[in-house]
Amino acid sequence: MANPDPREEFRRLFQSSGPSLLAQAYLLTGDRQESQDLVQETFLRAWRHWERVSTLDNPHAWLRRVLYNLSLNHWRNLRTRRSRDLLTLTDGASPSSGAERLDVSKALQSLPAKQRQALVLVAIVGMTTAEVAKEMGAKEGTVRVWVSRGRQAMAAALGFDTLTVVEGGRLDE
């Protein structure tokens, strides 16, 4: 039996993981362009290390971990980026002070990194707490605490009384 074409295997991994990784990246960073860059860098690293990645039991978990690590770098550099972005504002527009709006991305950004990662993996990716615990190298109880605290913080940030993660990856009031 002939060895499978590595390019074809990589293409299948890209097609099956790309959209989900892009959604996760956006929720982790809150920036569309940065999300696309992070996903591109994630797949670039996967291709560079394809000999090892292709033999993993769960290459999707490897991709998520790389994406998460890259998003941490995004947060570390956010102050510099914000300063640069402020310099490029030319229209003088300021945020509306009277109108409240639902901004899930900003609420997610306000969470500590582990809470944000756990909540995205449970609520968006649809992983179980056991799967998240294995991927994050934490105990299941710790993941449940991160998700619970993340939900509470999100509810407060979004102005809800309660916010729960339900089956299917939806956030419900």
Instruction: Please name each of the domains of the chain with its CATH number.
Output: 1-90 (1.10.1740), 103-173 (1.10.10.10)
Specify burial of residue 39 (Cβ count, 10 A radius: 0-12, 13-18, 19+): buried
Mean pLDDT of the chain: 79
φ and ψ of 19, to 5 deg: -60, -40
Please measure the distance between the N-terminal and C-terminal CA atoms of the chain and give it in whole angstroms: 53
From its phi and psi, is residue 102 left (phi > 0), alpha (psi between -120 and 50) or beta? beta
Whether pLDDT at 8 is above 60: yes
Q: Note the pLDDT tens digit of each residue in 91-148.
A: 444 444 333 444 777 788 888 989 988 988 888 788 899 999 998 999 999 999 999 9
CA distance 24 to 38: 10
CA distance 51 to 73: 25
How confident is residue 21, by pLDDT bands cut at 50, 70 and 90?
A: very high
Whether pLDDT at 77 is above 90: no
Whether pLDDT at 40 is above 70: yes
Amino acid at 120: V
Helical H segments across the chain, by residue range: 6-29, 32-48, 50-53, 59-76, 78-88, 104-109, 113-119, 129-136, 140-158
Whether pLDDT at 88 is above 50: no
| pLDDT on residue 162 | 55
CA distance 25 to 8: 24
**Residues constituting the chain:** 173
Answer for the pair 46, 62: CB distance below 8 angstroms, yes or no: yes
**CA-CA-CA-CA torsion sign (130, 133, 134, 136):** positive
